[in-house]
Amino acid sequence: MAFDLTGMMGKVKELQDKMQQAQQEIQHITATGEAGGGLVRATANGHRKILKLEIDESLLTPQDRDMLADLVVAAVNKALDEAAELAAQELKRKTSGLMPNVPGLDLSGFGA
């Protein structure tokens, strides 16, 4: 059986196109993380960038400054984790069937 370089190159090009399309769509994925029972909410996109931070006015007192910082960190981390998971799912959905299932293959360098 002969090696089909042209066919393989076509698959690589198709994969590149699908990855680029997925990257563009991932920016529209949003996820929100909450902390303190919803007192602090952070929203991130699929590229792991914070888009919005909401802080309940009850936390804006000098004595709550340390707690506020902790809640912001917790909410941001939850939003980033969720956005990364949603982006990975979208990337997997877009490239399904284009790449063989290779154990240990990590596509996180492509934005997932």
Residue 99's Cβ-count burial label (10 Å; 0-12, 13-18, 19+) is middle
Task: Quote the CA–CA distance of 10 and 17 in Å, as a whole number.
Answer: 11
Task: Quote the CA–CA distance of 54 and 94 in Å, as a whole number.
Answer: 32
Phi-psi region of 93 (alpha: psi -120 to 50; beta: other; left: phi over 0): alpha
3-state secondary structure of 94: helix
pTM above 0.85, yes or no: no
| Longest CA span, the chain | 74
Q: What pLDDT, on the 0 to 100 scale, is given for residue 38?
A: 93
Helices (H), 3-111: 5-26, 65-95
Residues 21-78 have pLDDT tens digits of 877 888 888 999 999 999 999 998 888 888 899 999 888 888 888 888 889 999 999 9
Residues 2-12 have pLDDT tens digits of 567 777 777 77
Length of the chain: 112
Residue 100 CA: distances (Å) to CA of 12, 27, 33, 90, 92 = 12, 26, 34, 17, 12
Pairing of strands 30-35, 50-55: unpaired
